[in-house]
Amino acid sequence: MKTSLMTRNDPTYERLTLHQSVAPARPLNVTALAAPAPQKVTDLLLSQEASRYFILRYVALTIVLLATSSTLLYFLATPAFTKACYFGMALPIATSYLSFLVTEWAFEQPNSLFVLVSTMSIIIRMFNLLIAFCVGYLTLKLNSAGLIIGLLATYFSYLAIEIAYVHNKGKLLGV
């Protein structure tokens, strides 16, 4: 492949110098600027491993929470408390998976956007907990203790595995 440096006799040089104060040493390759930087295969494999870690922990935690809570609620709780607790558990289970998908997307973004998305994800879920409590307690007249226990125990359990996921993925990728 032949590469040539631009000289003052080159017509491209004259066009570039009309718009730029310093002429480039070689012709500008626009496709090289627009192409994304290639990632190493090992980075992609490590990223998939960290994502697999979260999904396995998410499924395991969901099974353990539902099995343990169902057993305890069957033997120890009133029907009103049980219904409120299950209502409280439903929102964090759904929002944790959605938060994982958003965090997965944010890992590919610049650091400032990643921090913003992660922080806003936690803040939005805290407001979701407040709204769910208001809806459950004020509108549906559910047992307040069952609702609070279901919401908070499930939310903080999923938050713990999400923090471990972000930590592991950051450590594996060297972020």
pLDDT, tens only, 103-161: 888 888 888 888 898 889 889 988 999 999 999 999 999 999 999 999 999 999 999 99
Average pLDDT over residues 81-90: 95
Q: Are residues 83 and 115 in the same domain?
A: yes
Contact 134, 19 (CB under 8 A): no
Q: Are residues 24 and 108 in the same domain?
A: no
Q: Are residues 78 and 4 in the same domain?
A: no
For residue 42, the model assigns a pLDDT of 66
Contact 65, 89 (CB under 8 A): yes
Q: Are residues 31 and 46 in the same domain?
A: no
pLDDT at residue 169 above 50? yes
For residue 37, the model assigns a pLDDT of 43
pLDDT-based confidence at residue 56 (cuts at 50, 70, 90): very high
pTM beyond cutoff 0.75 = no
How many structural domains is the chain composed of?
2
Q: Are residues 107 and 155 in the same domain?
A: yes
Mean pLDDT of the chain: 80
Q: Are residues 52 and 22 in the same domain?
A: no
Q: Are residues 45 and 104 in the same domain?
A: yes
For residue 103, the model assigns a pLDDT of 86
Q: Are residues 133 and 95 in the same domain?
A: yes
Average pLDDT over residues 50-65: 91
For residue 79, the model assigns a pLDDT of 95
Rounded-to-integer distance, Cα 143 and Cα 134, Å = 12
pLDDT tens column, 17-35: 444 555 555 655 544 444 4
Rounded-to-integer distance, Cα 126 and Cα 120, Å = 10
Q: Are residues 30 and 49 in the same domain?
A: no
Q: Are residues 47 and 2 in the same domain?
A: no
Domain that holds residue 22: 1-35
Q: Are residues 12 and 65 in the same domain?
A: no
pLDDT at residue 10 above 50? yes
CB atoms within 10 A of CB 117: 16
Q: Are residues 18 and 49 in the same domain?
A: no
For residue 122, the model assigns a pLDDT of 85
